[in-house]
């Protein structure tokens, strides 16, 4: 009861939505790989091994170098936003709105495909140099544009959350971690990045850089446009300043405060969950091909049946819950990755070692299979 009293309704909402986004993004990523492999089989009869370049050009696989330098790049971007926010806020708002439009259209696509399947064929409609699109893709994009326009006009937190959810799912679906080594490098580096900018940046910059950048509203592009074009004192003046969709926010039951969680704290465990989901699929297929051979002699059959996906998902849930309780106890911003990284990586490493999979998971396990099997490539 004491732990429950430390969590209010806004934090419960943030926790539940975050877990749902992580799981949904992981399975969307899995489904994309199946679709890409089916397309490859339809377009080519030549045999060859799957690799990151042959699946989909839009999918980005993070290598070791990128994993090491990503926290540095994120720190530089954070400092730019901290010192020069007034100068770049309009450009940053427009770029964010464009990305959020595309991401939310991706989030809506399965629903639109379900709605348009009975009444229209799945033939693509040509728009000249813009490309060819199905009716479902056009519908999802139109709904996404409409939502972004309403968000720009109203600045409502619920619409901002919807756009942030689209960004989370799109990032989880289109970014790949190829091995456990890269996962450890990336998550460890981002843990240090998160802890430094939340706990120690105030000692250097006299302000909590992470919190200030995350909570600082930007000028509405409509207001800026009306001032630039001298459209009159009443044109564009009633539009609110915009809180950018780089986070999820939910109000408390009393409306006295908002609970906030950055989308990076959702995407990073989501990427790890995608990796272990692919490995579970890979290992399941490998065991099927070997006629269900037993695991290592020092591990029981029950232990072998425990999936890495469930282990990592439980760790992510416990980590998010711990971060939520910690923020409530200290009544201050907490680096969520400080709790998420240990609660996800340590159980995963322990289970991989006990099952005898650690060496294979550490060094890109999916490259060893041929394209004749329906395995997933990270």
Q: What is the DSSP letter of 125?
A: E
pLDDT at 374: 45
Q: Which of 180, 166, 369 is nearest to 266 (CA)?
A: 166
Task: For 139-162, write each residue's pLDDT tens digit.
Answer: 999 999 999 999 999 999 999 999
Summary count for the chain: helices (H), strands (E):
15, 6
Q: Round to whole Å and give the CA distance between 19 and 344.
A: 13
Residue 375: pLDDT above 80?
no
Residue 194 annotated among the catalytic residues of the structure:
yes
Q: Round to whole Å and give the CA distance between 62 and 179.
A: 9
Task: For 57-74, write each residue's pLDDT tens digit.
Answer: 578 899 999 999 999 999
How confident is residue 47, by pLDDT bands cut at 50, 70 and 90?
very low
Q: Is residue 71 exposed (0-12), middle (13-18) or buried (19+ Cβ within 10 Å)? A: buried
Q: Would you say 185 and 283 are in contact if contact means Cβ atoms under 8 Å apart?
A: no
How confident is residue 347, by pLDDT bands cut at 50, 70 and 90?
very high
How confident is residue 121, by pLDDT bands cut at 50, 70 and 90?
low
Joined together, the tokens standing for residue 96 give: 């964010």
pLDDT at 58: 78
Task: Point out the catalytic residue in the list 161, 265, 280, 357.
Answer: 265
Q: What is the DSSP letter of 45?
A: -
Joined together, the tokens standing for residue 21 give: 């986004």
pLDDT at 255: 63
pLDDT at 377: 41
Q: Which residue has the higher pLDDT, 52 or 133?
A: 133
Query: Residue 221 CA to chain centroid, in angstroms?
Result: 26
- Worst-scoring range by mean pLDDT, 21-25, 47-51, 70-74, 99-103? 47-51
What mean pLDDT is predicted for residues 117-141?
80
How confident is residue 48, by pLDDT bands cut at 50, 70 and 90?
very low
pTM score, whole prediction? 0.86
Domain boundary assignment for the chain: 9-40+60-119+130-286+299-363
- Worst-scoring range by mean pLDDT, 10-24, 259-273, 280-294? 280-294
Task: Point out the catalytic residue in the list 8, 33, 161, 194.
Answer: 194
Partners of 132 in the β-ladder: 126
User: Taking the CB of residue 129, how many other CB atoms lie within 10 A of it?
Assistant: 5
Joined together, the tokens standing for residue 243 give: 């809180």
N-term to C-term CA, the chain: 42
How confident is residue 175, by pLDDT bands cut at 50, 70 and 90?
very high
Task: For 211-225, write each residue's pLDDT tens digit.
Answer: 999 888 988 888 888
Q: What is the CA radius of gyration of the chain?
A: 23
244 half-sphere exposure, CB direction, 13 A CA radius: 25
């Amino acid at each position: 009861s004491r732990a429950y009293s430390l969590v209010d309704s806004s934090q419960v909402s943030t926790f539940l939505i975050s877990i749902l986004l992580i799981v949904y993004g992981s399975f969307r990523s899995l489904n994309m790989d199946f679709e890409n492999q089916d397309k490859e089989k339809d377009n080519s009869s030549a045999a060859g091994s799957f690799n990151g370049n042959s699946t989909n050009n839009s999918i980005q696989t993070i290598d070791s170098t990128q994993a090491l330098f990503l926290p540095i790049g994120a720190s530089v971007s954070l400092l730019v936003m901290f010192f020069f926010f007034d100068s770049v806020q309009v450009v940053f708002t427009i770029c964010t709105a464009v990305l959020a439009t595309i991401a939310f259209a991706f989030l809506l696509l399965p629903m639109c495909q379900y709605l348009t399947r009975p009444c229209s064929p799945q033939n693509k409609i040509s728009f000249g140099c813009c490309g060819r699109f199905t009716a479902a893709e056009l519908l999802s994009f139109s709904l996404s544009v409409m939502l972004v326009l309403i968000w720009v006009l109203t600045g409502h937190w619920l619409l901002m959350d919807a756009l942030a959810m689209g960004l989370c799912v799109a990032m989880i679906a289109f970014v790949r971690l190829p091995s456990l080594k890269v996962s450890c490098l990336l998550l460890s580096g981002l843990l240090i990045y998160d802890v430094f900018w939340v706990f120690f940046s105030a000692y250097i910059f006299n302000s909590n850089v992470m919190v200030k950048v995350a909570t600082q509203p930007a000028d509405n592009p409509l207001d800026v446009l009306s001032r630039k074009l001298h459209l009159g004192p009443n044109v564009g003046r009633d539009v609110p300043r915009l809180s950018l969709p780089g986070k999820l926010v939910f109000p408390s039951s009393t409306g006295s405060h908002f609970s906030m969680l950055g989308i990076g704290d959702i995407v990073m465990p989501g990427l790890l969950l995608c990796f272990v989901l692919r490995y579970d699929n890979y290992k399941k297929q490998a065991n099927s091909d070997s006629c269900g051979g037993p695991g290592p002699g020092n591990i029981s059959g029950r232990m072998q049946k425990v999936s890495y996906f469930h282990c990592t998902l439980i760790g992510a849930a416990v980590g998010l819950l711990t971060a939520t309780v910690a923020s409530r106890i200290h009544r201050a911003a907490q680096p969520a990755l400080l709790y998420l990284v240990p609660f996800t990586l340590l159980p995963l490493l322990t289970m991989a070692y006990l099952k005898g999979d650690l060496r294979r998971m550490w060094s890109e396990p999916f490259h060893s299979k041929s394209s004749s099997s329906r395995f997933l490539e990270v």
